[in-house]
Amino acid sequence: MFAVVPPQVDAYRNHSTPVNTVILASLGIIFLGLYVLQLIIGLNQRRRYEWGLVWLAGYLILLRAVMLYFGVPFLFIESDLFNPKFYASSVLVPSLGDLLLNATVIIVLALYWVNHHYRAHSYSFLLRRPEWLCNVLSVGLVVLSYVVFNRCYEELNNLYEKSRYYSPISGNCCYSGTTGTRLPMKTRPACLPS
């Protein structure tokens, strides 16, 4: 009844960068990550949570930039999830797997800040501000959250429209206005538009 058939494409290979260079760069990024982790632990012990967030964000953004530049996930794992021929939304999101990795970066940053925001100096600073400034800041954050929501909606819309996956059930159904049930195209009443 329902099947998703991925398109048949040739395997994409990154011929511009030798694999040894990518392996050495990956090791360098891993050791840099260990250094940044130790630095963040030290900053947290000194109650510098904002600087810990800055270092974590800088490292994760650098990591994603290097991964996107070298095509690391697809270079080692030739999966359809990381294949840019199935879904190429933008330079920052060349595949579905990269979209998931970008979402993981955002989740890690959000979890760090949720766990440390109430101890941060900026939080106590904002608590001592006048009420009108807090109101303006609240409205600004609501508008910013709407912008982020709109961007996520556009990305999901791109995912649906630009994906080359074929689903035979999506093109063969219509919805009846009276019962709310799906009707196959062959058994659809003549009054429904095609």
CB 164 within 8 A of CB 86: yes
- Is this structure's pTM higher than 0.75? no
pLDDT at 19: 72
Alpha-carbon separation of residue 111 from 33, 56, 57, 71 (angstroms): 18, 11, 12, 27
Give the closest residue to 111 by CA, choosing from 162, 53, 151: 53
d(CA 81, CA 94): 10
d(CA 162, CA 4): 15
SS percent in the chain: helix, strand, coil, step 5: 65, 5, 30
Cβ-in-10-Å burial (0-12, 13-18, 19+) of 93 comes to buried
Per-residue pLDDT of the chain (194 residues; tens, 9 = 90+): 555 555 544 444 445 667 777 788 888 889 999 999 999 999 999 999 999 999 999 999 998 888 888 777 666 677 777 777 777 677 777 788 888 888 999 999 999 999 998 888 888 888 888 989 989 999 999 999 999 999 888 877 877 776 665 555 455 444 445 544 444 444 444 444 54
The answer for 174, left when phi > 0, alpha when psi is -120 to 50, beta otherwise, is beta
Q: What are phi and psi of 6, to 5 degrees?
A: -70, 145
CB 69 within 8 A of CB 60: no
pLDDT at 185: 46
pLDDT at 4: 54
- HSE-up of residue 168 (Cα within 13 Å, Cβ side): 4
Number of C-beta neighbours around residue 14 at 10 A: 13
Nearest 10 degrees: Cα torsion 78, 79, 84, 85? 100
CB 85 within 8 A of CB 97: no
